[in-house]
Amino acid sequence: MHELFLTTQISNDDLQRALRILQGYCGMSPVHILRRHLKWEGPRTRTPKGIDPAFIQKQHRDKVPQWKALSEQLGRQSYVLTLIYDVDRGQFGQTSTQSEETNGASQISGCDQIPGILRWSDLPDPAGNRPVNSRLIVNIENEMGLCTVLKSMNHRFSNEIIQECNRFVHGNVIFEINRYLQLPENDTPSSIRTELPPYESLVPFDGDNKWILTASVLVLDGNNPEQMQKGIDELAAVMLDFEGCFNLEKRDRHIFDTRIKF
Amino acid sequence: MESISNEFPISLRSWPTSGHDPSALPTLIQRINFERGGFLNITEESLRQEIAEEEANGMDNDESSSSDEEEEPDKLKELMMAREELLREIEQAHQSALYALDFISLLLTKDVAVDISPLLTDLVGPKTLGADKVAASKLTEAQKLDDKQIAKGWKAQSLNKAIDSIQASAERLEKEIEHETKYWEQVLAVSDNGWAVCRLPNEKHILGVRYGFSEASSAFKTRSLAVLQRNPDGGISLDQGMSETAPKTLRARIQVNGKDTGITPVPNPAPKDAPIETLIHQARNTIFAEELWQELNREARSFAPVQDNDDCLVCPLTANKTMILELVTLGEPQPPTSSADNDIAEAIYLALHLLLSYSHRGNYRRRTQARKPISPSSMVEPAQTVTLVRGILTRLTYQESIKQLYSLLDPLCLVLNKASIPASYTRVPTTSTPPSHLSNAEKTIMTLMERLEARFALSITSSTTLNIQLRTFLSPLCSAFFVSLPNPTDPVVVTAPPFNEGYSSFEALRDYVLQATACALAASLTPSLVQLPPPPPVNDGEDKMALDSANNNEKETESQKVKEDKKWIQTGQFTLLSNVENQKQLSISVHAERSRDPKVRKPGVSLQLVWDGPRSQIPEDDDEAAGKGRSSSLSLGGEGLVRMGDSEAGKRMMEKSGKRGEKAYVWVAWENEKQNAWGEDEGEVVNSFEDVVKDVEKSS
């Protein structure tokens, strides 16, 4: 699956105005989303192994092609993978009463017990004449036990970040106004938190507290020029509509690099 | 070309063909015959006079048309022409001033160094023009003074004119400001009341109000924008442009046997000078009604019960009630009707509106969800169908099926109770919950229209319980009944197993339930055909029905010994028993009945015991044929059939059976009948099923 996208920045002062504009453009109220992003680094080796074929065969038949595609990519190069879990505001600042959650196994099982999304994205394609960024992605959704799976694939948990997102949909184009929030320092930074700190203690990742507006379109088959052109046309139309309002543009592809370098 | 003089006529037209020449003689003769009825009355004088009159009329027309044009000048054109003229004059004045400046500058270069334009420097060069006073001025002081006075007068006159003009402009501007303020106040009021005010897509300088629905089908969405026009007095009016139609609404009528018995009201249209809010509301209601009408027609094309009949849609609701839907203009006179079914008409009217809104909500949800990736299949948008009349009929079918179930279970349990058999039924609440992401309004509509389900547990004897499940489907519109036996040791499992695929009609279900009841009663008199396994463990999570069946098992175990003492055995037919001691045969049957009263055709159930001879139906007597029906009947000691009954008339009647040696005992109960509907003086107490069977066993 290919993702075509354009991005721009929005200052925090302009956020409400941007939300109102997109609300009118898309004819919908924004969908507010809070998500935990757990970053997992692949093994630092030049000959990484893909995913165990036996494990892939055990998966639901609809998801086998996605797991195979991911295994193929991870067999060539190590990447940073992201596990995404939906959270709500009420989960922040709640203290857990279970004493056993201090050990590592239960920390992982905490996230394993809820469905999450495994997301892999490649380095975007070289720009060429395309007016948009495009990259290969794999999204395996609604999956349980992903932390254990990544552990078994020799991936190492590196850090965690909170995504605050306002999402709009206009035809095939998805608009997301995102900002990323860092969690305060933890005693054991290499372990997954069992409880989230108070929301007020989160610090914007961007020093100026800017938001990132992304307009994206998903295309099932990136090798099909007709599908790709349709996606590009829709994004180009959006870019034209917002000319003078949002400076949606193609960025340097290396900003979005997720490969492990050593 | 030079050889051709200017007067030489050149025509670029093609040479006229003879076939279409209007001046050709045959054509002219034909035309004269057609226009004037032949040449008889035509003279040269009359034609000249006619031509003169036509010319005179033509001049009048020209004058009138020119006067019309004068009356309605094209303001925009005039304004543009005036603007062009003004610009031309300014340009001319500018040029003249430049020439004058150049002239003076050139003249001054003779004495002092003055900058002159480079063009003039190149053309004539500096210091090439000089001037000298050749004679003294002839102007006297008096003339000068006079000139000054004249100049002052002109100035004063011009100033006065300017002041007047400015005052007039100020007044005009003041009025304009008042009108603009009034206009904007009204526009803001419209906006504050929640209407979306926006610029028109193609004419950005004009304001419009979006009164339609964002989730309506595309044809209606594009029509949902009207211009907020400013009247000359600053008032606001709604201009719907090409899409403006007479205000309309949907009207629902209910007919019984061709006569209107219910109708929804049709309001009067708002006057043109009504408040803008009222007009917007009316436009919104009209576009909603029109979309509803379109969707109803679309649904009617693929939904058989709805028939399109002369600009109205006709759909049967019940056996004798028909619904008629039509789109009418506001203020249309109402046909004379009785108001008996006005509530039904209004409920249908509201339900249809709610269902279209429900469909709009669904469209919004689909539109605002992230779509699947672009793929060949996603490029083809599936057509969305709107459920309107189908939803109403589904609900009605469900309610009718529930009613039918009660009309069976009520008298069935009652007749068994009359025979002292402790049968009962309960309605088990269903636990299906609509998806949580829907709003409460959507959940309500979904609960009323989709996933319609009802469950009943009918306990007939201690060992027999039937679980009846009703499901009504939206598409295809039908009700289906599913029966299960929770108790695996139930004798009915062997004697009358239910059909696993379910029963597609109530009649089929009723026949099965009655047959299963007869089998269960027969099984209670005979030794068990089923070996009892140990009672299954009951988990907490199992439903009430399973619990009931487990309890029944325990009861059955207790009564096992009693059963084994019975003198009856089953024959080839499970409801026909044979006594091992006196060789008598006993037939048990349960039948559906219907009262003979033509006004109230009450459903009922009869339980019959027939012995000593082939099974036969109870012969009908004259009273039954007269429609009085029977409440209960009994036969005692082989004396013949004795009938006790006519609960509806409240009197008892006794008579004897016709056939000798054939005895029967019948219990009958009707729907909504009270437990003991007869009075103390109305007859004997009805015997129990067990007593009658004992009597039969004892009789020789």
Size of interface A-B (CB pairs under 8 A): 39
Instruction: Say which residue the tokens 């499901």 belong to.
Output: B471
Contacts of A167 in chain B (CB under 8 A): 370
Structure tokens at A79: 């990447």
Which pLDDT score is estimated for B640?
33
Encode burial over B456-466: b for 16+ CB neighbours within 10 A, e otherwise: bbbbbbbbbbb
CA distance B541 to chain A (A): 23
The pLDDT tens digits of the residues spanning B398-452 come to 999 999 999 899 989 988 888 888 889 999 888 778 888 888 888 889 888 888 8
Contacts of B369 in chain A (CB under 8 A): 169
CA distance A127 to chain B (A): 21
Q: Where are the alpha helices (DSSP H) in B324-439?
A: 342-368, 389-418
> Which of B365, B374, B436 is the mutation pick for testing A, counting most A CBs within 10 A?
B374
CATH number, domain at A131?
2.40.320.10
Question: How far apart (Å, rounded) are the C-alpha atoms in residues B239 and A25?
Answer: 25
DSSP string, B200-251: -SS-TTSEEEE-S-TTS-HHHHHT-EEEEEEPTTS-EEEE-GGG----EEEE
Q: Please enumerate residues of B whose Cβ is less than 8 A from a Cβ of A.
A: 214, 364, 367-376, 378-379
8 Å CB contact of A169 and B373: no
A222 lies in some domain: yes
CA distance B369 to chain A (A): 7
8 Å CB contact of A231 and B379: no
Which pLDDT score is estimated for B592?
87
Nearest residue on chain A to B215, alpha-carbon basis: A27
Q: Which of B387, B428, B432, B373 is CA-nearest to residue B405?
A: B428
8 Å CB contact of A167 and B379: no
pLDDT(B634) > 50:
no
CA distance A170 to chain B (A): 7
* Number of structural domains in chain A: 1
8 Å CB contact of A169 and B371: yes
CA distance A28 to chain B (A): 7
8 Å CB contact of B367 and A169: yes
8 Å CB contact of A218 and B374: yes
8 Å CB contact of A220 and B368: no
Contacts of A217 in chain B (CB under 8 A): 374
Per-window interface: A 224-243 vs B, CB < 8 A: 227, 230-231
B22: pLDDT confidence band, cut at 50, 70 and 90? low
A187 neighbors A213 (Cβ within 8 angstroms): no
Contacts of B213 in chain A (CB under 8 A): none
8 Å CB contact of B368 and A172: no
DSSP string, chain A: -EEEEEEEEE-GGGHHHHHHHHHHHHTSPPEEEEEEEEEEEPPS-SS-----HHHHHHS-TTTHHHHHHHHHHHTT--BEEEEEEEE-GGGBTPPP--GGGGSHHHHHHHHHTS-EEEEEEPPPPP-TT-SSEEEEEEEEEEES-HHHHHHHTT-EEEEEEEEEEEEEEETTEEEEEEEEEEPPP-SSTTS--SSBPPGGG-EESSTT--EEEEEEEEES-TT-HHHHHHHHHHHHHHHHHTTTT---B---GGGG--B---
A89 neighbors A34 (Cβ within 8 angstroms): yes
The pLDDT tens digits of the residues spanning B208-260 come to 999 989 888 888 888 888 999 888 888 888 888 776 778 999 999 999 988 88
- Which residue range forms the structural domain that includes residue A102? 2-256
Which pLDDT score is estimated for B328?
93
For residues B329 and B551, the model is more confident at B329
CA distance A20 to chain B (A): 13
A233: pLDDT confidence band, cut at 50, 70 and 90? very high
* Least CB–CB distance from B374: residue in A28, A167, A220: A220
The pLDDT tens digits of the residues spanning B103-125 come to 998 888 888 888 888 888 888 88
- A218 in B contact zone (CB under 8 Å): yes
The pLDDT tens digits of the residues spanning B197-213 come to 988 888 888 899 999 89
Which pLDDT score is estimated for B614?
41
Per-window interface: A 98-117 vs B, CB < 8 A: none
CA distance A140 to chain B (A): 14
∠ Cα B677 B682 B686 (to 5°): 70
A262 lies in some domain: no
Which pLDDT score is estimated for B644?
39
- A174 in B contact zone (CB under 8 Å): yes
